[in-house]
């Protein structure tokens, strides 16, 4: 292991320990309610960026995969009372399959066409859920999750910790992909698919891998939601706002490295959580819209790119 | 222009009005306020209900003017949930854990309330329910009290009035159509259950996507099925489109009664926009200005609401949501005063044992906190002319057909004849 | 009865299809011809609808109001392209993700501006022919759909003739193929694209007026149309302006048949199913040249 890797691993462990410590030290549950939403966005943004940032394939429907994860988990809980771990794995598998399907789509369509096809996926899945009576259809589904283990203090604290662990693993996975041959291949693919192919990069295999991993993680992010809210409905599972934030966060943070989506998610999600209870939500959405325009216009490589540019300027 | 003399008269009048509460509130100001927390859908698809805030505020002003609760002033803590259930868990945790509110009121409707119910059950908190059909039926919390008169077992029963009318009119064949939206789907399922109970055959039963703009195919299929009653579970955007479709395509001569659960036909802007095409439709409401419903308290409330609504561009009529928000406040007021404490268990015990007089009627609660008596109105639109909102403030335009004690007229049928008159 | 339902379902499908074509037309220009994925187009349609609502409150017919507002909307579209070009000028060709994100951001800002100005209430127009129908034998066609459905082919024919026979129109089509050749022949490609955006924006205004005649509109109505509009353009094939209407007919009739004979609840999936099938089986669309 290189020194950087050791530092990263140490950081990851510290984050997990801090989370565990916080659950016991912080009495106020609100912290974990709000924290859940923020950490969920870290997972979503990281997952989205594996395909969108590294490979340059814009998935406009992360909500489709997230929603698939939410509903897979709820279905298993309702049908078998399955434990959370099983639900997370199952959601990951479903997400992976959907991701692979998306991956095969990339054989035929690229660029904008791919982006549009992913929008179609959201509507299709939402329509299907509307028509499945067992999943509650448009009515939604209210389920009371089983009691959490004693060490987790409470239900919210428990799902917060679970999600935090998922987030740490997702970020580690994204970082590993970025630094391995996969990441190099994806970058080549992003620059020019034809050139990459000519240079002997196995583009299809890479794309399939990126789609599968991204899809699986997006779905996994949704798996604990039913434990958090006790209620799911197609509107929030396939939420447009959620999809929008998921795309905006890596773009604001920076899409080239694993840190970008993390920074973007922490920043935007915290601001939004604070904003929910302070300013009107119109201004909240306006803020996201303006941020997107400003970043595309002035800092296309996100905050990380901006920071690097500043550093270079200072050195020059 | 206001003349100087007139001005001084107004000033004197308002001065008096202001001075009266000021006397009693001066001592209140020193006491710690009692905080009441809720979330309101100020934005998003449910923002048509944002006038809830005005209802709560008017109650707060009244209770504070009358000396507050337990000698303490009442303060509202509200957040915007953006009509999204995903926002609800964090908001209610903030209300309870950070703002330390004393009492909670639920958000609007079943979708937004669903995430609150396990939360209050787990923490064992008192909650006033707002408009959620059968909101407490799954969780069965003993500190839940509904401000809306859906009645017991409301999932099935709330629209029974429509089917009672249909049965009385001799209908045996029912068509049920619903939007793919939570409330509409629940209504449709309830309607189907009652149809079976009344031995009516369901000859059409389909749902359609929200925001459907063209109903001609649906209406033709319904006409082909020749139903005598058409139970419609729609939402504001499609309610408008559907009624337009009625005029364009027609529904056939077999239909005696049409409507039931069309959300949107309670809002001023929609009513005014549809105008005369409303005539004949039988639909749910919770308050209409008919003689059997009116009393000085609600008249006074609406008289105060109207200028506020004009100033803040809220629903001009305010018949649907705000009176029940005021009633929610009255339920809290009665509970706290009756139990003479803020203890949730004692408040709940008092409310289970004692009825509460609200501006929308007397509420007696059953063990699930639902009103023991269903008081959903089925009203028939009659004599609507033009697009003036004012006519919906007059009696006789929305005639109450059910429940019998509040009845102000009989069903005009068949539907075709009722539409022309 | 079956025959009546079938005839009317097909007729309604054609009417809806014609309206979808109007909604997608601007996209057929900016995306189909210029290859700029303007996902903000539906939001411009909604903006147009609000203009029609405001004009209607002052007693204007929505479609007449749209024609009257054509010039300002042309300028708005041109200005919008100018902004787009400025943002990406320094970097040469815009990368798809950045372009999409920019348009996404613009959509959000326009939607929110509408919410702040008008609230989230449903807006409607008051027109005499709403609520009446044209009846020919078994066929019943509501004027609410018929009038808008007649506007769309007129608009498409006009645009097609413009692209085919005028100098500027030919230049717009040329801009899609070979920018350098265009420059050699003395035409500024930047000006041509700006012009095309202006035209697309005018079609959005007319489509908005149509949309609000059919049914109520709120600031978020555009979102429902994004997928359908792209489905029409892609099914037609890139650059196939007259093909737009045929593609839209196919989608409209398919939706209407599903509504009539299967279950209306499945109809929103239809356009997207067709879209996915097109992308998977025939990505160049029905009438487009292969890419």
Summarize pLDDT for A65-95 with one digit per residue, the tens: 999 999 999 999 999 888 899 999 999 999 9
C286 and A127 Cβ atoms separated by less than 8 Å: no
B44 and chain A: CB distance < 8 Å anywhere?
A: yes
Query: How far is the alpha carbon of B195 from chain A, nearest alpha carbon, in Å?
Result: 20
Contact list, A293 vs chain C (CB under 8 Å): 102, 105-106, 109
- Please indicate whether, in this complex, the C-beta atoms of B209 and A144 are within 8 angstroms of each other: no
- Answer whether residue A189 is part of any domain: yes
pLDDT value at B7 more than 50:
no
- C-alpha span between A303 and A81 (Å, rounded): 43
Mean pLDDT of B126-149: 91
Q: What is the pLDDT of residue C89?
A: 63
Class of CATH domain C2-281: mainly alpha
Could you tell me which of A192, A213, A197 has the C-alpha nearest to residue A49?
A213
Structure confidence by residue, pLDDT tens digits, A109-159: 777 788 888 888 888 888 888 888 888 887 888 887 788 887 777 888 899
Do the chains contact at A58 and C227, CB–CB below 8 Å? Answer: no
Residue where the block lists tokens 């996994």: A220
The structure tokens listed for B312 are 């803040």
Question: pLDDT tens digits for C20-35?
Answer: 999 999 988 888 888 8
A249, A269 contact by CB (below 8 A): yes
Q: Is residue A20 part of a domain?
A: yes
Chain C residue closest to A58 (CA)? C97
Contact indicator for C56, C62 with CB cutoff of 8 Å: yes
Residue A221 placed within a domain: yes
| Residue C30 CB coordination number (10 Å) | 28
Instruction: Categorize the per-residue pLDDT at A182 as very low, low, confident or very high, splitting at 50, 70 and 90.
Output: confident
Which of C8, C131, C224 faces B216 most closely, judged by CB atoms? C8
pLDDT the model gives residue B60: 96
In a domain, A270, yes or no: no
Do residues B240 and B215 make contact, with C-beta atoms less than 8 angstroms apart? no
User: Mean pLDDT, chain B, as a whole number?
Assistant: 87
Q: Which of A162, A209, A164, A224 is nearest to A43 (CA)?
A: A164
For residue C105, which residues of chain A lie inside 8 Å, CB to CB?
288-293, 296
Q: Do C98 and A120 touch (CB under 8 A)?
A: no
pLDDT at B27: 55
Judging contacts by C-beta atoms under 8 Å, the chain C residues touching residue B234 are none
DSSP string, B2-68: --HHHHHHHHHHHHHHHHHHHHHHHHHTTSPPEEEEEEE--SSTTGGGTTHHHHHHHHHHHHHHTT-
Task: Give the mean pLDDT of A189-212.
Answer: 83
CB-based contact A116 C111, cutoff 8 Å: no
- The correct answer on CATH 3.20.20.70 for the domain covering B158-289+376-420 is no
State residue B380 phi and psi, 5-degree precision: -110, 130
- What is the number of domains present in chain A? 1
A29, A139, A276 member nearest B79 (Cβ): A276
CB count in 10 Å sphere of residue C150: 14
Task: Tell whether A115 lies on the interface with C, counting CB pairs under 8 A.
Answer: yes
Q: Chain C contact for A105, CB < 8 A?
A: yes
**Pairwise CA distance, residues A117 & C276, whole Å:** 6
CA-CA distances (angstroms) from residue B72 to B25, B66, B98? 9, 11, 21
pLDDT > 90 in chain B, percent: 57
Burial of A167 (0-12, 13-18, 19+ CB in 10 A): buried
> Rounded to 10 degrees, what is the CA torsion of A197, A199, A201, A207?
-30
Residue C242, pLDDT score: 82
DSSP classification of residue A52? I
Cα–Cα distance measured from residue B258 to residue B237, given in angstroms and rounded to the nearest whole number = 18
Q: Report the residue of chain B nearest C126, measured CA to CA.
A: B273
Question: What angle, 0 to 180 degrees and rounded to 10, lies between the N-to-C axes of helices C143-165 and C243-257?
Answer: 160
Inspect the interface and report whether the beta carbons of C275 and A56 lie closer than 8 Å: no
* DSSP code, position A280: -
Q: What is the pLDDT of residue B18?
A: 41
Pull the structure tokens for residue B399: 């005639």
Model pLDDT, residue B250: 84
Side-chain half-sphere exposure of C71, counting CA atoms within 13 A: 1
Dist CA B116 CA B127 (whole Å)? 9
Which one-letter DSSP state was computed for residue C36?
Answer: -
Nearest to A156 by CA among A31, A274, A21: A31
A255 phi and psi, to 5 degrees? -100, -5
Give the model's confidence band at C152: pLDDT under 50 very low, under 70 low, under 90 confident, else very high: confident
CB-CB under 8 Å, B248 with C132: yes
Calpha distance B154→B368 (Å, rounded): 11
Average pLDDT in the C97-123 region?
Answer: 83
Q: What is the pLDDT of residues B295-316, one digit of tens each?
A: 999 999 999 999 999 888 888 9
Considering the domain boundaries, does residue A181 fall inside one?
yes
The residues spanned by each domain of chain C are 2-281
Q: Taking CA atoms, what residue in C is nearest to B46?
A: C120
CA distance C125 to A5: 63
- Is a pLDDT exceeding 80 seen at residue C193? yes
Are A184 and A42 in contact, with CB atoms under 8 Å apart? no
Q: Which chain C residue has its CA at the smallest distance from B241's CA? A: C215
Write phi, then psi, for A279 (nearest 5 degrees).
-105, 165
Question: Between B and C, how many CB-CB pairs are < 8 A?
Answer: 92
State the DSSP code for B105: E
- Domain assignment of residue A188, yes or no: yes
Compute the average pLDDT of residues B363-374. 92
State whether residue C226 sits within 8 Å of chain A by CB.
Answer: yes
Render pLDDT for B265-295 as a digit per residue (tens, 0 to 9). Answer: 998 888 888 888 899 999 999 999 999 999 9
**CA gap B192, B190 in Å, rounded:** 5
Q: How many CB atoms lie within 10 A of CB B367?
A: 11
Domain ranges, residue A104: 3-242
C35 close to C238: Cβ distance less than 8 angstroms: yes
Helices (H), B169-235: 182-197, 216-225
Q: What is the pLDDT of residue C291?
A: 42
Provide the 8-state DSSP code for C265: G
Q: So what's the pLDDT on residue B8? A: 42
Q: Region A246-270: what's the mean pLDDT?
A: 88
Is the pLDDT higher at C198 or at C285? C198
Among 3.50.50.60, 3.90.700.10, 3.40.630.30, 3.40.50.2300, name the CATH number for the domain at B30-154+294-363: 3.40.50.2300
Q: Chain C residues with CB inside 8 Å of A121's CB?
A: 272, 276
Per DSSP, chain A holds a count of helices (H) and strands (E) of 15, 2
Local structure of A257: helix, strand or coil: coil
What residues of chain C lie within 8 A of the CB of B207, using their CB?
A: 263-265
Alpha carbon of A88: minimum distance to chain C alpha carbons (Å)? 28
Sheet holding B127-130, edge to edge: B74-80, B34-40, B103-108, B127-130, B144-146
* 167-196 of C, contacting A, C-beta below 8 A: none
SS3 C70: helix
Domain B30-154+294-363 shares a fold with domain B158-289+376-420? yes
Half-sphere exposure (Cβ direction) of A171: Cα atoms closer than 13 Å: 26
What is d(CA C65, CA B68) in angstroms, rounded to the nearest whole number? 55
Q: What is the pLDDT of residue B11?
A: 41
Enumerate neighbours of A (3 or more CB pairs within 8 A): B, C
pLDDT of B252 reads 84
Region B119-128 average pLDDT: 92
Chain B: give the shortest CA distance to residue C9, in Å.
6
Inter-chain residue contact C268 with A127, CB threshold 8 Å: yes
pLDDT, one tens digit per residue, over A119-128 is 888 888 888 8
Degrees to nearest 5, angle at CA A207 with A204 and A209: 110
B282 Ramachandran zone, left/alpha/beta (phi>0; psi -120 to 50): beta
**Do residues B149 and B361 lie in contact, with contact meaning Cβ atoms separated by under 8 Å?**
yes
Q: Where are the alpha helices (DSSP H) in chain C?
A: 2-27, 41-57, 62-68, 70-89, 96-118, 143-165, 167-177, 179-184, 189-214, 221-236, 243-257, 267-281
pLDDT of residue A276: 64
Sorted by where each begins, the domain ranges of chain B are 30-154+294-363, 158-289+376-420
B28 pLDDT band, cuts 50/70/90, is low
Q: Which residue of A has its CA nearest to B117?
A: A230
Which residues have a Cβ under 8 Å from the Cβ of B7 and sit 6 or more positions away?
A: none
Residues in chain C with CB shorter than 8 Å from the CB of B217 are 5, 8-9, 12, 256, 259-260, 264
Query: What percentage of chain C carries pLDDT values higher than 70?
Result: 94
Q: Cβ separation of A292 and C101 shorter than 8 Å?
A: yes
């Amino acid at each position: 292991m290189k020194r950087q890797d050791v530092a990263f691993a140490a950081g990851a462990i510290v984050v997990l320990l801090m989370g565990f410590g916080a659950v016991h030290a912080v009495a106020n549950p609100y912290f974990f309610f709000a924290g859940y939403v923020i950490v969920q966005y870290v997972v979503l943004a990281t997952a989205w960026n594996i395909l969108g940032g590294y490979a340059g394939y814009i998935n406009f429907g992360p909500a489709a995969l997230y929603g698939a994860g939410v509903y897979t988990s709820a279905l298993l809980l309702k049908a078998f009372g399955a434990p959370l771990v099983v639900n997370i794995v199952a959601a990951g598998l479903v997400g992976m399959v959907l991701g692979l399907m998306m991956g095969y789509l990339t054989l035929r369509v690229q660029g904008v066409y791919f982006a549009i096809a992913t929008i179609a996926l959201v509507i299709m899945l939402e329509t299907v859920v509307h028509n499945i009576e067992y999943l509650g259809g448009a009515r939604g589904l209210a389920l009371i999750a089983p009691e959490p283990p004693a060490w987790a203090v409470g239900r919210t604290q428990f799902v917060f910790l679970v999600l935090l662990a998922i987030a740490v693993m997702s970020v580690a996975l994204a970082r590993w992909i970025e630094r391995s041959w996969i990441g190099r291949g994806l970058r080549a693919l992003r620059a020019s698919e034809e050139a990459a192919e000519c240079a002997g990069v196995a583009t299809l295999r890479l794309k399939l891998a990126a789609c599968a991993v991204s899809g699986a993680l997006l779905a996994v992010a949704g798996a604990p939601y039913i434990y958090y809210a006790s209620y799911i409905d197609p509107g929030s599972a396939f939420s447009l706002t959620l999809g929008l934030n998921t795309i905006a966060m890596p773009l604001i943070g920076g899409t080239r490295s694993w840190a970008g989506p993390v920074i973007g998610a922490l920043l935007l999600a915290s601001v939004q959580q604070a904003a929910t209870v302070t300013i009107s939500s119109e201004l909240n959405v306006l803020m996201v819209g303006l941020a997107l325009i400003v970043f595309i216009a002035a800092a296309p490589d996100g905050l990380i790119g901006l920071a690097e540019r500043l550093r270079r300027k200072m050195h020059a | 222009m206001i003349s100087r003399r007139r001005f001084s008269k107004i000033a004197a009048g308002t001065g008096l009005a202001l001075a009266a509460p000021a006397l009693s509130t001066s001592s209140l100001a020193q006491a710690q306020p009692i905080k009441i927390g809720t979330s309101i859908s100020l934005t998003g698809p449910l923002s048509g209900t944002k006038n809830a805030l005005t209802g709560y505020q008017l109650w707060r002003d009244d209770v504070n003017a009358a000396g507050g609760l337990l000698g303490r002033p009442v303060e509202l803590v509200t957040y915007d949930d953006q009509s999204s259930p995903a926002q609800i868990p964090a908001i209610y945790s903030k209300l309870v854990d950070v703002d330390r509110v004393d009492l909670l009121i639920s958000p609007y409707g079943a979708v937004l309330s669903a995430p609150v119910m396990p939360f209050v059950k787990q923490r064992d908190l008192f909650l006033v329910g707002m408009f959620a059909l059968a909101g407490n039926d799954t969780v069965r919390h003993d500190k839940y009290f509904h401000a809306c008169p859906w009645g017991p077992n409301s999932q099935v029963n709330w629209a029974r009035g429509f089917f009672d009318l249909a049965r009385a009119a001799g209908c045996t064949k029912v068509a049920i159509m619903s939007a793919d939206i939570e409330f509409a789907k629940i209504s449709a399922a309830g309607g189907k259950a009652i149809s079976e109970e009344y031995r009516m055959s369901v000859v059409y039963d389909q749902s359609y996507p929200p925001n459907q703009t063209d109903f001609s195919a649906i209406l033709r299929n319904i006409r082909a099925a020749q139903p005598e009653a058409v139970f419609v579970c729609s939402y504001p955007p499609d309610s408008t489109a559907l009624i337009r479709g009625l005029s364009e395509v027609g529904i056939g001569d077999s239909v005696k009664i049409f409507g039931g659960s069309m959300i949107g036909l309670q809002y001023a802007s929609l009513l005014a926009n549809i105008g005369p095409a409303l005539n004949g439709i039988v639909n749910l409401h919770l308050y209409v200005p008919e003689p059997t419903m009116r009393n000085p308290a609600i008249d006074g409330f609406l008289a105060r609401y109207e200028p506020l609504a004009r100033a803040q561009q809220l629903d001009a009529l305010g018949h649907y949501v705000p009176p029940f928000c005021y009633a929610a406040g009255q339920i809290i007021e009665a509970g706290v005063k009756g139990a003479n404490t803020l203890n949730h268990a004692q408040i709940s015990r008092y409310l289970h044992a004692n009825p509460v007089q609200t501006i929308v009627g007397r509420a007696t609660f059953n063990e699930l906190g639902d009103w023991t008596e269903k008081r959903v109105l089925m009203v028939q639109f009659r004599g609507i002319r033009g697009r003036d909102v004012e006519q919906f403030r007059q009696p006789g335009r929305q005639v109450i057909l059910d429940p019998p004690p509040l009845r102000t007229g009989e069903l005009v049928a068949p539907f075709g004849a009722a539409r022309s008159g | 009865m079956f025959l009546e339902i079938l005839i009317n379902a097909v007729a309604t499908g054609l009417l809806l299809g014609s309206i979808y074509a109007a909604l997608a037309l601007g996209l057929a220009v900016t995306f189909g011809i210029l290859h700029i994925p303007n996902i903000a187009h539906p939001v411009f349609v909604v903006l147009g609808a609000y203009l029609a609502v405001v004009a209607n409150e002052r007693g204007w017919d929505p479609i007449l109001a749209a024609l009257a507002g054509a010039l300002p909307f042309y300028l708005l579209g041109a200005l919008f392209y100018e902004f787009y070009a400025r943002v990406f000028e320094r970097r040469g060709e815009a990368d798809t993700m950045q372009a999409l994100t920019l348009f996404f951001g613009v959509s959000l800002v326009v939607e929110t501006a509408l919410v702040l100005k008008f609230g989230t209430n449903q807006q409607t127009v008051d027109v005499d022919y709403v609520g009446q129908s044209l009846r020919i034998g078994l066929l019943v066609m509501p004027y609410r759909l018929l009038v808008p459905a007649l506007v769309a082919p007129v608009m498409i024919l006009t645009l097609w003739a413009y692209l085919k026979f005028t100098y500027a129109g030919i230049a717009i089509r040329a801009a899609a193929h070979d920018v350098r050749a265009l420059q050699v022949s003395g035409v500024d490609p930047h000006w041509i694209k700006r012009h095309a955006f202006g035209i697309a924006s005018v079609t959005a205004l007319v489509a908005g007026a149509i949309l609000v005649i059919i049914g109520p509109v709120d600031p978020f109505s555009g979102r429902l149309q994004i997928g359908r509009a792209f489905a029409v353009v892609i099914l037609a094939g890139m650059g196939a302006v007259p093909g737009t209407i045929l593609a839209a007919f196919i989608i409209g009739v398919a939706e209407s048949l599903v509504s009539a004979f299967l279950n209306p609840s499945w109809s929103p999936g239809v356009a997207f199913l067709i879209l996915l099938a097109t992308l998977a089986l025939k990505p160049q669309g029905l009438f487009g040249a292969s890419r």
